[in-house]
Structure 1
């Protein structure tokens, strides 16, 4: 089954919720980047949060997440849109550590805790909206929870998780975002705090075969949740040979001439999907004309 996301309301509209299974999406990212388990978990958690935050957008709006915590895996960058498309990369994908004291992948060590989480929203206006909060945990779920509370003033709970197979492929990945509306009563908050504190990790629920609807039912109770819409999600990169060609044109005639003389062509590679684009000498000559 393809990955998908669900949007819902709970407790008579007091709570807004998103849940997503990203197993295939993160699997595609892992294959493209050849990432090792700890890096895969860090990238996968970031992309899972990104695709849910993208689902909060409308129309052609886009969102970019930048996670720079000073950890061994380097900065993580994620792009997502309102239609379930997400792409991402981690600077050092071949990063892996022994399991942490809880027997889990040591994402905190890969991400680091000395730096910032930056969220940039492209709403189609002249200026992009940008929010930034310090990385408080490095485990990422807590960092996105903190971002929503501080930057957007929305009390939230963000759970993101990735399980990795012994051969480095992705076994399970997914997440949820639960957000309290301004009118949420204390009794509802108490129920949610208790349920979220005691629930199994999201990646374990997905490994057991729970789909996004069942995850939200598990958290809220069947009688308390109203599903609004589902949306397919997938790894999707916006790169193309034409875009890289435009970037080469922007270098100017002098630099393009150097490429022609020194290399007899050019090879470019997309950070996000690792796709390679080859430009022949003739193609560079044509781009030089346009420059």
Structure 2
């Protein structure tokens, strides 16, 4: 099943739902970053949420950043997304390994620990929107649910899941974000709550053969549904040697002079995709010249 996000509403537009299938993009991220199972789960959940939240934005140049920062061994997760649901991201410690929780699940909350979630939306205003909350669980979906309620005053349900196979590859990945619109009737809210209570996990539904539309029907059972356009998320990094060079310039002219004196080329890698860029002595001298350093 190829990755996609489907947007669904009820006939009276009291509820909107985004369901995402993200196995391919999360597997690409795992392959690039060589993540452990628990790091794959943390990064995959955040990438899925980022893809959905990115697709909610309207402007072609709108950008979303999700930053989870914790005191656990994982350190943190950073994901960016645009309105086409193109995402990229990384974890600080991709090799973190923890025992499974007593219920047999990957211990994402233990890996992340306590800390904060920072949500940045650059939607073309003078200053980007910045919303920050303390982590309430470290389980990604629960923290995002709390973020929507506290920072955006939008009652929401967020469900995210990544199932990692025995060979560490991604077996299933997906999630959904459901939001109640202003004026949603009590009977609609009651139906949604009843549906959510009896719902299996996202990965269990996917592993049983469900697609995005099947999941939407189960989440919104009892309501008349309209399926809207699909968006096709993917993991894609827009790094380049020029961008990495800008990061190199920030170390300062003295550091670059020291690199030249050492007489060895340097290699810098992009945090988001691990692509390596080499700068030989000629490149370093050119950079100094452009910095107007004699």
Higher alpha-carbon deviation: 15-24 or 246-255: 246-255
Match of 2:110 in 1: 109
Unaligned runs of 5+ in 1: none
Higher alpha-carbon deviation: 2-11 or 156-165: 2-11
Distance in 2 of aligned mates of 1:219 and 1:197: 10
Distance in 2 of aligned mates of 1:262 and 1:211: 56
Distance in 2 of aligned mates of 1:261 and 1:2: 51
TM-score in terms of structure 2 length: 0.95
Match of 1:274 in 2: 274
Deviation at 1:222, TM superposition (A): 7.6
- Corresponding pairs, count: 290
Distance in 1 of aligned mates of 2:11 and 2:154: 17
Residue 105 of structure 1 aligns to a residue in which SS?
coil
Match of 1:65 in 2: 66
| 1:50-99 CA distance string (max 9 Å, x none) | 11111111221000011112222111111111011011111111112222
Match of 2:186 in 1: 186
TM-score in terms of structure 1 length: 0.96
Q: Any conservation in 1 of the 2:56–2:83 contact (CA below 8 Å)? A: yes
Deviation at 1:2, TM superposition (A): 2.6
Match of 1:87 in 2: 88
Match of 2:265 in 1: 265
Do structure 1's residue 285 and structure 2's residue 261 form an aligned pair?
Answer: no
Higher alpha-carbon deviation: 119-128 or 143-152: 119-128
Distance in 2 of aligned mates of 1:249 and 1:137: 39
Deviation at 1:197, TM superposition (A): 1.5
| 1:216-236 CA distance string (max 9 Å, x none) | 112113852211110111001
Q: Which structure 2 residues correspond to residues 1-291 of structure 1 after superposition, within 5 A?
A: 1-58=1-58, 59-112=60-113, 114-221=114-221, 224-291=224-291
Residue 55 of structure 1 aligns to a residue in which SS?
helix
Over 3 Å counting, the alpha-carbon distance change for 1:98 and 1:218 in structure 2 is same
Unaligned runs of 5+ in 2: none
